[in-house]
Amino acid sequence: MPRPFRFGVNLLDPAPAGEWQARCRRAEEFGYDVIQVPDHLGMVAPFPALVAAAAVTERPRLGTAVLNAGFWNPTLLAREVATTDALTGGRLELGLGTGYVQAEHDRAGLPFGSPRARVDRLERTIEELDRLLGSGELPHSQRVPLLIGGNGDRTLRLTAEHADIAAFTGARLVPGSSTGQLLPVGAGELQESVARYRRLAEGRKEPAELNLLIQQVTVTDDRAAAVRPLVERVPGATVEGALELPILLVGTVEQIVAQVLAQRERYGFTYLTVLEPYMEAFAPVIAELGGR
């Protein structure tokens, strides 16, 4: 039996308290299981935003998607995690990644480093969190569910060894981009990444939950028109190829439901995260798939 679906929404835009909390309540009303926040300069500060979300919601978990390990001292991060988990009633779901936007590190005056150095930082962060949370060194702390996002072999190995949730982006960094420009990967390439992860995770006692970040949700009767702007921006892209991308959910509600079910069958994705602009568009899909 496959895992039942879970659905998350990644809230991106800073807002005054009333507006922020209204959006969080709306996410809960739509049926989202997880309210997530990113870790990018110019967006919300993750931990206060999640505490504010917890104050006006009851059911959803609260997640970081994902923290940039290079922004955080691991020992101080453990304190933030323990405090936020306590203040949210144990609803925190911690997402970690290596970070991929060099320009943000430059603005913050922090080293970016090579891919190897960034994975080393992520590994040290995971080890320190494992050591501190629930050890008695931090008051009221416990281990929280860990999500790790990334596609490289070393990151996938860390994910296989430590993560409760393996998160896939369905995109890759444009070579040489310092601003985090991403290109979508095709269905075959994504399937290869999932297969590599599964090989690395063969010895696990319990399988991890598989998460996919969805980049676009468009409910429409004209699928081709909906993806044409993307096709025009990506060299060599075609409408047919775009409609097969796992990170785009385009069509009628019935067609999107069928696509989500097919992706669970093909890849094992049972935890889908949509970006805030598509929170309302995806709500009818949640209504159709809830409990399945």
Token pair in block for residue 215: 């980049």
Q: What is the pLDDT of residue 8?
A: 98
Which residue spans within the chain are E strands per DSSP? 6-10, 34-37, 61-64, 67-68, 92-97, 146-149, 165-168, 171-173, 182-184, 209-214, 216-219, 248-251, 269-275
Name all domains of the chain by residue range, CATH numbers in brackets.
Answer: 6-215+263-289 (3.20.20.30)
DSSP string covering 214-272: E-EEEE-S-HHHHHHHHHHHSTT--HHHHHT-TTEEEE-HHHHHHHHHHHHHHH-EEEE
Please, which pLDDT band fits residue 261 given cuts at 50, 70 and 90? very high
Do 193 and 254 contact (CB within 8 A), yes or no? no
Q: What is the pLDDT of residue 135?
A: 83
pLDDT at 78 over 90: yes
Mean pLDDT of 89-93: 98
Q: Looking at residue 65, what is its pLDDT?
A: 97
Segment 220-234, tens digit of pLDDT? 999 999 999 989 988
Residue 1 reports pLDDT greater than 80:
no
Per-residue pLDDT tens digits for 229-250: 989 988 888 999 999 999 999 9
pLDDT above 80: residue 108: yes
What pLDDT, in 10s, does the model give residues 29-44? 999 999 999 999 999 9
Is the pLDDT reported for residue 140 higher than 80?
no
Q: Measured between alpha carbons, how far is 225 from 244 in angstroms, rounded to an integer?
A: 14
- Check residue 236 and give its pLDDT: 85
Helix (H, G, I), strand (E, B) or coil at 1: coil
Model's pTM, two decimal places? 0.96
Cβ-in-10-Å burial (0-12, 13-18, 19+) of 70 comes to buried
